[in-house]
Chains A and B, each alone.
Chain A
């Protein structure tokens, strides 16, 4: 069985400050992990993926995530938030199929 828990349903940060979106996972096997972003009325876009090659994964638009097996976590970070980062973010675990978390809505305060 596999699952993901996104620890915050809503995160608000000021423009220019760091972003932290938290994700814990559960998997019986070594998982692949992804972060997807969904802007309003748009499809899901892949931000980054972990495939066991490196624990620190760099993605698009300045985002990165660190895989910590001991903590079963895969938190998403960005050093400086931009207004265009406002969206819904999904942490995803993949063994035989993609299993999505419930999402974190990121709001950027001007």
Chain B
């Protein structure tokens, strides 16, 4: 167990709708990252939040947005859902030390299906 939890476990939405996914980080971790894992692929980096500010973003459009809260929780919001957004969404938390060796601890993921 990594101490990182995500909700809900599964979610079904239709095209054009909006969705909010939630993550609870390990206590004391100041950084959370979100990843999208399409079926049969490796996770792709969406963005990272450090002390409630966005601190890096991958190749995802602005309709993917996030929030990080002081209580170690965070959200991933996706607007105007498309069929290709169907994937497993993973969050990972870490205590950022400013080096590349920080270990990220992953939650079990939220499986999003867009119909």
Whether the pair A41, B56 counts as a contact (CB closer than 8 A) is: no
Say yes or no: A100-B109 contact (C-beta < 8 A), given A32-B101, A43-B4, A46-B103.
no
Interface residues on A, range: 20 to 34
Which of B40, B43, B45, B99 contacts A44, CB < 8 Å?
B43
CB distance from B55 to the nearest CB of A (A): 10
- A11–B106 Cα gap in the complex (Å)? 25
Q: Which of A14-22, A66-74, A77-85, A91-99 binds B?
A: A91-99
Whether the pair A95, B109 counts as a contact (CB closer than 8 A) is: no
Say yes or no: A100-B44 contact (C-beta < 8 A), given A43-B2, A44-B106.
yes
- A90–B90 Cα gap in the complex (Å)? 14
Say yes or no: A97-B101 contact (C-beta < 8 A), given A41-B108, A44-B90.
no
In chain B, residues 1-54, which have Cβ atoms closer than 8 Å to a Cβ of chain A? Answer: 2, 4, 33, 35, 40-45, 48
Interface size on B, residues (CB 8 A): 25
- A41–B9 Cα gap in the complex (Å)? 10
Instruction: List B contacts of A97 (CB < 8 A).
Output: 33, 45, 48, 56, 58
Instruction: List B contacts of A103 (CB < 8 A).
Output: 40-42
> Does A58 sit at the interface, judged by CB under 8 A?
no
Interface centre among A32, A43, A96, A101 (most CB of B within 10 A): A43
CB distance from B104 to the nearest CB of A (A): 6
A6 nearest CB neighbor, chain B only: B42
Interface centre among B41, B48, B56, B100 (most CB of A within 10 A): B100
Residues of A near any B CB (own CB < 8 A): 31-32, 34, 36, 41-46, 49, 51, 90, 94-103
